[in-house]
């Protein structure tokens, strides 16, 4: 079985109740929930929340594959990891260890059902243990060093042309695939041999701050 799991806690400080704040005519969480529901490879969609308002909003979508899981408030704090609620759900419901677990972030509304299907196809074809979505960045990165800054991914004395530059892969946080058995063993969303599924550059944006909301809202209107 392929299970899509969408964590959606109620306590967001930067954008209060952002998961049900309206984005282009629909609550934010609608977009990824609908994409997961419409992906042919997904058998069940679980929205895990500690908030009655989010729960009622999600149920009002009347999407056939979607269920709401009442997550433990202890795993819905500012300091709680996503893995903590993943493990809570897996252990409490006794999922089959052979099931595939798709972690999908509600804050990535640009994720489409065809992205999920394409990712799963590549996951099967490449026979990796786990996979994440991301975008290819062709930017020159620097990091802080002991004496100022130093380059991470290129030689500034031999600056490559953009078309010849390999670039870096940046996680966009939209979707992850792993098996239930791997998650239980490693307590992590990614395990073993890790694969990467490339998404369009515009999916690099996640909604964490008010400025992200403005950018994504305009991108969605254009696309």
Known catalytic residues are 159
- Sorted by sequence, the CB contacts under 8 Å of residue 80 that are 6+ apart come out as 9, 74
From 70, 40, 42, select the one nearest 55 (Cα to Cα).
Answer: 70
From 222, 10, 18, select the one nearest 107 (Cα to Cα).
Answer: 18
Q: How many residues does the chain have?
A: 223
- Sorted by sequence, the CB contacts under 8 Å of residue 219 that are 6+ apart come out as 110, 202, 205
Residue matched to tokens 């890790």: 194
């Amino acid at each position: 079985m392929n299970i899509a799991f969408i964590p959606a806690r109620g306590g967001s400080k930067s954008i209060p109740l952002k998961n049900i704040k309206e984005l282009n005519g629909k609550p934010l969480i609608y977009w990824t929930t609908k994409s997961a529901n419409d992906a042919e490879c997904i058998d069940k969609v679980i929205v895990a929340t500690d908030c009655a308002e989010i729960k009622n909003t999600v149920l009002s979508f009347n999407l056939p594959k979607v269920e709401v899981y009442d997550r433990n408030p202890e795993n819905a704090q500012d300091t709680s990891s996503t893995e903590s609620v993943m493990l809570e759900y897996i252990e409490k419901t006794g999922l089959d260890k052979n099931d595939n677990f798709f972690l999908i972030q509600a804050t990535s509304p640009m994720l489409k059902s065809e992205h999920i299907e394409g990712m799963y196809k590549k996951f099967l074809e490449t026979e990796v243990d786990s996979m994440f979505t991301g975008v290819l960045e062709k930017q020159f990165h620097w990091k802080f060093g002991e004496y100022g800054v130093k380059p991470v991914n290129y030689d500034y004395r031999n600056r490559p042309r953009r078309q010849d530059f390999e670039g870096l892969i940046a996680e966009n946080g939209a979707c992850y695939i792993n098996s239930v058995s791997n998650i239980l063993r490693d307590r992590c969303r990614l395990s073993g041999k890790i694969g990467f599924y490339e998404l369009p550059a515009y999916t690099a944006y996640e909604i964490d701050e008010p400025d992200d909301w403005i950018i994504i809202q305009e991108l969605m209107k254009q696309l």
